[in-house]
Amino acid sequence: MSFAQHYAEHIAHVNFIYAAALSDSGSFDAVLLHSGSEHVYFSDDQHPPFRANGHFNHWLPLNRSEQMVLVMPGEQPLYFQVIPPDFWYEQHISLPDWVTEQFDLCPLTNSREISDQLAALQVRKGLTLSRIAFIGENCEFANAIGMAKEAQNPSKLVHYLDFHRACKTDYEVASIRKANRLAMLGHKAARQAFEAGASEYEIHMAYLQACEILEEETPYTNIVALDEKAAILHYQNKRRSSGEHSQVLLIDAGCRVNAYCSDITRTSTRANTLPLFCDLVEAMESLQTHLVKSVRSGIPYPDIHSAAHAGITNILIGSGICNGSREELLAEKVSTLFMPHGVGHLLGIQVHDVGGRMKNIAGETLAPHSDYPSLRTTRITEVGQVFTIEPGLYFIPVLLNPERGSARGKLINWDLVDTLSPLGGIRIEDNVLVTETGVENLTRVSI
């Protein structure tokens, strides 16, 4: 099925969700979605890269400021396309026909003109301003066009929408699947650059070139870490120094398609890498594959996280990094020193998509276990959910060094830790879809 067919079905589905959300809220008859406004740096006239409001992108695959969509149940959504007369910046908006045909289009030259449009709708359709909810970051804009405070991002409505964004339509899945395929081209190029002795900067540029994207078009800042920097989970730098003698590359990088993200991590080694570390990478690949295969509808996501820690505990014992029994290590939570993050998160328009800890449409949350405070997803898995599976095993000095004299530190082989620490660590990450029959790995596809 083409994107056009998927998208038409997607819009119909989102229309249904919004109608139900408005009915549930009881306070509003329509929703005005604002893509957002650009900001400038302090005492400057330059803008940081813009990123549209996720709820706006749920309808329109467009990353432009000051755009609006008005959703009225039973009506075709109305897209207020704001194109100001300007000679400083390119203002043209190009959208495929299969997108625009799903909307009534109303061109504006200034976002404030929306006030006149809403007044006209009150006359034509009896839609009063007080019955329109506003969803967007720029509440100053909402104030300026007369939206009441209680109509701005009303929590009951937003909770309902956030909760339902976890389960993806066929259009959303197709977009994420394509974003995975594109990103894997970049990962292949990055691995080849690493094997050729490239620097972090050069590997990063090889990734962008293979994907044919600008850095600001990535869904998040690429993590390109050689050797010890792989132990910094969100490592943000790109060293220019040669990688000729590097042994390990950890790259966490994705792409966007129709505003939907991929989020993929790979750890690669070279021929000169310490054999024990290569064995650890192989063991983590096996664990990650096992965790993916265990996914099915109806299980608590934290169970996957617990299984990851059980698997890492086995690896720590089998490699000799830790001593003692499996029961001792689990009781002392030793694995949390080597994997301090959650095993994954919901994925969609946002890399860490909304609703991961939500229990229901009312906004009640399911807190993660106190042992795993960084776990972003605590929901029961459902058909249609897309999330990451990304176990890791790192040698992080700030976590490990304080344990050198502790009781649980006696379970750690410090000589091996010191040997392995210059190699940083390992993370393997795929994006998976929960299906009726189990799971589909959206990442491990032929490119």
pLDDT digits (tens, 9 = 90+) for 359-415: 999 999 999 999 899 899 999 999 999 999 999 999 999 999 999 999 999 999 999
C-alpha span between 306 and 302 (Å, rounded): 6
Helices (H), 253-372: 275-293, 301-318, 326-331, 335-338
The dotted CATH code for 3-164 is 3.40.350.10
CB atoms within 10 A of CB 365: 14
Phi, psi of 419 (to 5 degrees): -70, -40
339-362 tens-digit pLDDT:
999 999 999 999 999 999 999 999
pLDDT of residue 3: 81
Q: What is the DSSP string of 305-324?
A: HHHHHHHHHHHHHHTTSB-S
Strand 78-82, strand 104-108: pairing: parallel
Residue 1: pLDDT band (50, 70, 90) is low
Average pLDDT over residues 212-239: 98
267-296 tens-digit pLDDT:
999 999 999 999 999 999 999 999 999 999
pLDDT of residue 2: 82
pLDDT of residue 447: 43
DSSP state of 411: G
Long-range contacts from 146-152, C-beta under 8 angstroms, 24+ separation: 146/115, 147/32, 150/27, 151/28
Q: What is the mean pLDDT of the chain?
A: 97
The H or E element containing residue 193 is: helix 170-195
The dotted CATH code for 170-441 is 3.90.230.10
Segments of the chain assigned to CATH 3.90.230.10: 170-441
Location of structure tokens 């920097």: 229
174-203 tens-digit pLDDT:
999 999 999 999 999 999 999 999 999 999
Segments of the chain assigned to CATH 3.40.350.10: 3-164
**Residue 320 region, left (φ>0) first, then alpha (ψ -120 to 50), else beta?**
left
**How far is residue 29 from each of residues 54, 81, 138, 147, measured CA to CA in Å?**
21, 22, 21, 14
C-alpha span between 66 and 89 (Å, rounded): 15
C-alpha span between 251 and 259 (Å, rounded): 22
**How far is residue 122 from each of residues 20, 53, 117, 391, measured CA to CA in Å?**
22, 26, 9, 53
CB atoms within 10 A of CB 107: 11
State the greatest distance between any 2 C-alpha atoms of the chain, in Å, as a whole number. Answer: 78
pLDDT of residue 229: 98
With 90 as the cut, is the pLDDT of residue 132 above it?
yes
